[in-house]
Structure 1
């Protein structure tokens, strides 16, 4: 029996020491790590979840603790000559449920108590902030070297409290005072690095820590988390070959499919495209192209923010154009969900207009695009989550076989039995439902939805047919078909060779559903 001895992939392993001692694969980021550690002191960086933030902090920890043996063969080995040892205070706020004020107080106090056991406690240090300052001061005085403070997921309590304003304000005030210690204790510190998903506005959590160097969108460090295409091809040739063989693809085809599904994150307009590391490693481990990153966390709170803000979902799906100031910081008081959606990894930088300083944000890749759109369907239609895949598959099959009546009957079901709170939505809500259906069909066939005037509402291309749909709100099917002819919607496809099919549809506002339709080939 042949035994497949695959290389060890560090899926879910976030400790640098474990990765190195137990011979897991490691993409060498230590040159960038060394550059950050030796070119400044207080840093902040935001990145989406499962993107390597915790591993980066663990790498800093091993470096500042002088564990030289862990870095043998890596880039930093040639850059560092001293390997000084520093006390490292590593605070991880990720593994806790923050649903009451005491939860944050407890985890901070517990961590401080453990540090006090090592470095002592002052009699008058009664608050969390005073205790933190005292620990830093004594640790520095005891060793004669500056202390290193690493904070992982600094914003986890705030994100969990977004729907509870009193709790959010309590957490914000607590963390503002706690993190503010890092400014007043500056003379005792060698290095500070905070990570999180979200950059909350300066006026809140970081107002007392305004000297932080935010490198979230620095070109020099845009590739420090994630995997570049160059790194993927350099470090993972055996895995690419195995993935290709399992899926009957050439290595080039296997890599191209990985690019479409997992690449496309940009943390600077000119920065390298980054692959999601969790999805890449999971794909190599299972040898299947799955939605690994998306399924590790559902964006329910983001969808709720979208609904509350009445943001046009179609604009989100096609790409949002914004100035940098509108998406790099999240302000709780602002009715704008885009910063959280961007920083959570569901949107990324796709284009940059240098003249007007505007960014185009869009889905980074197919995994995120179709995962997010699929997730939206139960929020905007009556179709249960477990049935949406069935419906979309049937939609595609019916158009491939030319069965427009079955397609329209099924589409009508999407508008049946809406929850009461959706019944009074504007016309735009129903347009969004059409939009979601046709966008999801785009996973399996060439489907376009109107994004500008002068185009049909929807165009779907199958091997045999090209369908042009026009929907009329409280209009007739004859008017819809006439508009297709009058505005020349079929002209771009006249030389295609496939059968052209016009579909006129009436939508009855009072019934909140599709009325009649007519097909002209």
Structure 2
């Protein structure tokens, strides 16, 4: 029986990974570079992307744990292996419902540090105690202090739609993080990580010396796994997965890339990144599941989308923006895009140097279909559990040629359009239309168009090609006529499969499909 190698699923401690023989993707050359060319850093990356492991690696490095780095790139770069006092704060492990929860978490860490460096200030505010601990750690050890803060924004994210609570968290964290500027002379290294970069909300206003490397080309691959790293580190796992799925090695890598690759955190999109959490899980479970998306439901993103009345079609087709439109989250702005990007549901797919515009799209199929499946209940009456059932039925009905059943099922989705929608009905119905046909793309080729010069949707099955045209408060006959007049079928005339035209009319009054005509060309 082939030896099963250990995959570090859920393990975020560098020492445990190295001590217990888990597979490790070597990022230590970048760790050494960052640790020795600057001091205060900030990195924004999506959840489950390796931020905690990165900080744990810095912790081991600054503790002088040379034994943990044997055989890694940093072993050839570091000669001193000096030991520094390390203060490591992780805000990810608690649910913050009131301000007292945040203070309690800070106190928990402060009490631990005070046992080492003195508790003379234990009755003062958290920021005063933090400043005192840093000063005393430096004085007592004779070495400057390393401060590592993981998920600095966790409390802020949990209160993002509660302005009063958000303001309380801002004030607490502003004062606490502000210590890192006033205590600069006592500090050797500072590194903060989070999902978002909150701007213009006072959190970082006293910490303006931070070097934000979130979009630096040199550190694009600091978290996440490149395809080269995937093949070099996980060759046996790729081979085993391929055998299980009856795929060649190359076909397996292609499937993995389509499902989990595609993240880019700078304008250079030549090297994409795989989600590490999903990769480890697919190798362990030997199936192409939606592992990353299932670990956290982005309810706050949906609330932001609804609150901002954002056009969902922009997320489906890709949106072109400047860097300032997505790289920082501004709480007062009616724009969910920065939060969606920084949370990992959109990524950079292209960059136009001439006009400095970025194109943001879903990074891969796992995120695309997971996000859309999750959104369906918020736009329709179809529940989350029912969505996958209906989409699978859509696919079967078109494959079998039963367009009437397909259209009747589509009415179920449109029946969820709220009664109070009036002027927005068209956009809402178009969003549902786009979501349904995009979700079909996980099973059969389905193209959704935005240009009026092409059909609204084209679906390919093994035996037929379906061309759909939708009208709003028109007639199904007019939609069918447009397919012919505009020549929407011409690109498929030599395909050899059956061509089917479907003209559909959507009524604002009934907020649903009121008529459709199906004609074989």
TM-score using structure 2 length: 0.97
Residues in 2 aligned to 1:417 and 1:98: alpha-carbon distance in whole angstroms: 34
Give the counterpart of 1:254 among 232, 252, 255.
Answer: 252
Shift of 1:362: 0.6
- What's the counterpart of residue 328 of structure 2? 329
Say if 1:468 and 1:113 are closer, same or farther in 2 by CA, change over 3 A.
same
- What's the counterpart of residue 457 of structure 1? 456
Indicate whether 1:507 and 2:500 are aligned. no
Indicate whether 1:114 and 2:112 are aligned. yes
Contact persistence 2:201–2:331 (CA under 8 A)? no
Contact persistence 2:458–2:465 (CA under 8 A)? yes
Shift of 1:5: 2.6
Shift of 1:470: 1.3
Alpha-carbon RMSD: 1.4
- What's the counterpart of residue 192 of structure 1? 190
Contact persistence 2:417–2:428 (CA under 8 A)? no
Residues in 2 aligned to 1:101 and 1:261: alpha-carbon distance in whole angstroms: 39
Shift of 1:122: 3.3
Contact persistence 2:121–2:129 (CA under 8 A)? no
- What's the counterpart of residue 370 of structure 2? 371
1:285-434 matches, cutoff 5 A: 285-416=284-415, 418=417, 425-434=424-433
Say if 1:123 and 1:301 are closer, same or farther in 2 by CA, change over 3 A.
closer
- What's the counterpart of residue 471 of structure 1? 470
Indicate whether 1:519 and 2:518 are aligned. yes
Residues in 2 aligned to 1:496 and 1:418: alpha-carbon distance in whole angstroms: 37
Q: Determine helix, strand or coil for the equivalent of 2:355.
A: coil
- What's the counterpart of residue 239 of structure 1? 237
- What's the counterpart of residue 46 of structure 2? 48
The range that moved more, 43-52 or 488-497, is: 488-497
Residues in 2 aligned to 1:220 and 1:417: alpha-carbon distance in whole angstroms: 47
Give the counterpart of 2:18 among 17, 20, 23.
Answer: 20
Residues in 2 aligned to 1:417 and 1:158: alpha-carbon distance in whole angstroms: 33
Shift of 1:495: 2.0
Give the counterpart of 2:87 among 82, 89, 105.
Answer: 89
Residues in 1 aligned to 2:94 and 2:121: alpha-carbon distance in whole angstroms: 29
Residues in 1 aligned to 2:77 and 2:452: alpha-carbon distance in whole angstroms: 57
- What's the counterpart of residue 440 of structure 1? 439
Give unpaired runs (5+ residues) of structure 2: none
- What's the counterpart of residue 264 of structure 1? 262
Residues in 2 aligned to 1:174 and 1:515: alpha-carbon distance in whole angstroms: 56
Residues in 2 aligned to 1:19 and 1:490: alpha-carbon distance in whole angstroms: 57
Contact persistence 1:202–1:210 (CA under 8 A)? no
The range that moved more, 9-18 or 506-515, is: 506-515
Shift of 1:204: 2.0
Residues in 1 aligned to 2:239 and 2:5: alpha-carbon distance in whole angstroms: 13
Number of aligned positions between the proteins? 519
Residues in 2 aligned to 1:513 and 1:520: alpha-carbon distance in whole angstroms: 21
Residues in 1 aligned to 2:195 and 2:9: alpha-carbon distance in whole angstroms: 20
Give the counterpart of 2:152 among 142, 154, 165.
Answer: 154
Shift of 1:292: 0.6
Residues in 2 aligned to 1:408 and 1:328: alpha-carbon distance in whole angstroms: 41
Say if 1:421 and 1:174 are closer, same or farther in 2 by CA, change over 3 A.
farther
> Per-residue CA shift, 1:403-461, capped at 9, x if unaligned?
11111111112122555566884211011111111111111111111221211111111
Residues in 1 aligned to 2:419 and 2:303: alpha-carbon distance in whole angstroms: 17
Indicate whether 1:485 and 2:484 are aligned. yes
Give unpaired runs (5+ residues) of structure 1: none
Contact persistence 2:475–2:504 (CA under 8 A)? yes
Shift of 1:481: 1.3
